[in-house]
Amino acid sequence: MIWHLVAVFISGLVLGAFAFLFRKLSRNLLPKWVIPVAAGIGMLGYLAYYNYTWFDFRVGQLPQKATVLTTERTSNFFQPWSYVIPAINYFEFIDGEFKTYQQDSERLVQYIRYEFYHDYIDRLDNKFFLLNCTQAEQLELDDAGQPIPPYKTEPVDRGSALFKKLCQ
C-alpha cells in the first residue's frame, strides 16, 4: 500500500515537472495552472493503470494449478474511470489442491475456495466446501471440516469451471 502511494506521488511529480519544463520552454506562454493539472492527471493516470492491471497481477501470483472461477466488475465513486469501463476488483479461485473421497458410491471432493477483494487493502478470504460430484451440490464446512449449520446444500452447475475442474 505504501509503495502505491509513493508511486502516485512520483507520477504526479514527474508529469508536473514536464508541464513546468514545457511552460519554461514556451517562455511562460502556457498558463500556471497547467502544472498542477498535469500533476493531477499523472496521479489519476497511475491509479487507473493500477486499477486495471490489478487482476492480471494477482492471477500471475497464483499457483500453476489454480483455476479462476468467477470475476466481478464494479464501479466506484472515487474511481470515476470505472463508470466507463469497470475494472475487475473481485475474483474467486481454487488452488488445484483438493481431496477426493468415495462414499456410498458417490464421489465427494473437499476443496478450498478463495475470494480475493481489491479494496483499499487487498483482502483474501477462504471457505472450505464439500462437493458431491454425483448429485452436483456442495456444502460449506468450517475450518475443522465439519458442516456449518444450517446444513444447507447449494446446487452446482455441471457446466461450471468448478465442477469441470474437480469432478472430471
Q: What is the pLDDT of residue 155?
A: 92
Cβ–Cβ under 8 Å, residues 21 and 39: no
* Residue 57: partners with Cβ closer than 8 Å, 6 or more residues away: none
Cβ–Cβ under 8 Å, residues 16 and 42: yes
Whole-number mean pLDDT of the chain? 92
pLDDT band with cut points at 50, 70 and 90 for residue 101: confident
- Lowest mean pLDDT of 68-72, 83-87, 119-123, name the range: 119-123
Say if strands 87-103 and 154-155 run parallel, antiparallel, or are unpaired.
unpaired
- Lowest mean pLDDT of 1-5, 16-20, 38-42, name the range: 1-5
What is the reported pTM?
A: 0.84
Give me 32's grid cell: 500556471
The larger pLDDT score, comparing residue 150 to residue 116, is at 116
pLDDT band with cut points at 50, 70 and 90 for residue 26: very high
Among 17-21, 104-108, 132-136, 163-167, the range with the most confident prediction by mean pLDDT is: 17-21
Q: What is the pLDDT of residue 79?
A: 87
